[in-house]
Amino acid sequence: MTVSKTKAKLVDVARQLFAKMGVENTTMNDIALASKKGRRTLYTYFKSKDEIYLAVVESELDILSDMMKRVAEKNISPDEKLLEMIYTRLDAVKEVVYRNGTLRAYFFRDIWRVEKVRKKFDAKEVQLFKAVLLEGQAKGVFHIDDVEMTADLIHYCVKGIEVPYIRGHIGAHLDEDTRNKYVSNIVFGALHRTEI
């Protein structure tokens, strides 16, 4: 098994164990046993449980980044892409946090360490928003003065509502159509979308 495959297997096994037993209750030995790798192999790749936890978070973010890229590449109008990217991102992060059970508490308690791992994802996300905004501008769907700044603002707005969204504090009582109307009004009002 190649180095990257071994590391990926260790991360996947850790993800499953964290979801089942919780981060606190999972030991490095548990991960080594479940992956059928020795402790020496595990410690070759990861110095601590915290390090493997952050690798799990990073791998989840890579999956999310791929999901958003697929939306950005869809053959739909730029305004539809933008909304779908926002919902894909919020729903995927919410699903990851809930799927991983006790990872949820760990995620909220350790949000600043998670932030360090997210830098690469954040940069990719801003570039995806920028590409869709440029496409929308080229097609006359959006009228934007500064695409770079707008992509940053969308990124930070979505990131800012992430935790309240995960916790169900935003829009939990709204049906999907009403929620979409509110989000569309805010996003498209800011982008000066033209009706097509």
Domain residue limits at 166 = 48-195
Stronger pLDDT, 41 or 109, i.e. the higher one: 41
Q: Does a structural domain hold residue 88?
A: yes
For the chain, list the strands marked E by DSSP.
none
Q: Does a structural domain hold residue 98?
A: yes
- For residue 125, the model assigns a pLDDT of 93
CB 122 within 8 A of CB 171: no
Q: Does a structural domain hold residue 106?
A: yes
Q: Does a structural domain hold residue 72?
A: yes
Q: Does a structural domain hold residue 10?
A: no
- For residue 43, the model assigns a pLDDT of 94
pLDDT mean over 69-77: 95
**Domain holding 141: CATH number?**
1.10.357.10
Structure tokens at 186: 């805010």
- Using the predicted structure, report yes or no on whether residue 71 has a pLDDT greater than 90: yes
Q: What is the number of domains present in the chain?
A: 1
- For residue 27, the model assigns a pLDDT of 93
Nearest residue to 84 (alpha-carbon basis) of 63, 69, 96: 69
Q: Does a structural domain hold residue 22?
A: no
Question: What is the secondary structure of 19-37 as a DSSP string?
Answer: HHH-TTT--HHHHHHHTT-
Q: Does a structural domain hold residue 131?
A: yes
Residues 2-34 have pLDDT tens digits of 558 899 999 999 988 988 888 888 999 999 999
Q: Does a structural domain hold residue 28?
A: no
- For residue 75, the model assigns a pLDDT of 95
Residues 93-125 have pLDDT tens digits of 777 777 665 455 565 566 666 777 788 889 999
* Single pTM value for the model: 0.78
